[in-house]
């Protein structure tokens, strides 16, 4: 994974920061307004990222990211906003090396989500999100 491994508290901090930013955003905020700070949804997302980087989840979870995101009618603008908030969150909470690694992983996952949510590609043609590459 690189010379500077992520620790679970760092993943949790990035997710908390990200969702706080998303809830405040004037464009995508309504999509995130009902998500309770520090609640189950954030814990699930933190587990997703932790597993994505090779960690073991605190409890077994099924990640159905594709279907969840498809139902949101996302746009290129919403993806761009999300990525900007993620960049700010990783920059705030991680070293430059860790932040770059996280953003590369996010770009890979984001490309899959875009193909599925915006392009209508069938999920069987996509890499399993959260699996090791």
Q: What is the pTM of this model?
A: 0.81
Please report whether residue 105 resides in a domain: yes
For 78-105, write each residue's pLDDT tens digit: 889 999 999 999 999 999 999 999 999 9
- Is 110 contained in some domain? yes
| Whether 79 contacts 114, CB under 8 Å | yes
Residue 43, domain member (yes or no): yes
Is residue 82 assigned to a domain?
yes
Name the domain count of the chain.
1
Q: What are phi and psi of 49, to 5 degrees?
A: -65, -40
The angle subtended at Cα 116 by Cα 113 and Cα 117, nearest 5°, is 80
pLDDT at position 59 is 74
Residues in the chain predicted with pLDDT less than 50, given as ranges, are 1-2, 124-133
Q: Is residue 2 part of a domain?
A: no
CATH number for the domain spanning 14: value is 1.10.490.10
pLDDT given for residue 131 in this prediction: 42
Judge whether 131 lies within some domain. Answer: no
For residue 60, the enclosing domain spans 8-125
């Amino acid at each position: 994974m690189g010379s500077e491994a992520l620790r679970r508290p760092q993943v949790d901090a990035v997710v908390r920061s990200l969702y706080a930013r998303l809830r405040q955003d004037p464009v995508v905020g309504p999509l995130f307004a009902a998500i309770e700070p520090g609640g189950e949804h954030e814990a699930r997302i933190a587990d997703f990222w932790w597993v994505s980087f090779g960690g073991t989840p605190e409890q077994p979870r099924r990640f159905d990211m594709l279907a969840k995101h498809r139902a949101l009618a996302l746009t290129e603008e919403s993806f761009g906003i999300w990525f900007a908030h993620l960049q700010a969150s990783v920059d705030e909470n991680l070293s430059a090396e860790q932040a770059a690694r996280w953003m590369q992983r996010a770009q890979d996952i984001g490309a899959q989500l875009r193909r599925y949510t915006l392009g209508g590609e069938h999920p069987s043609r996509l890499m399993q999100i959260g699996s090791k590459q």
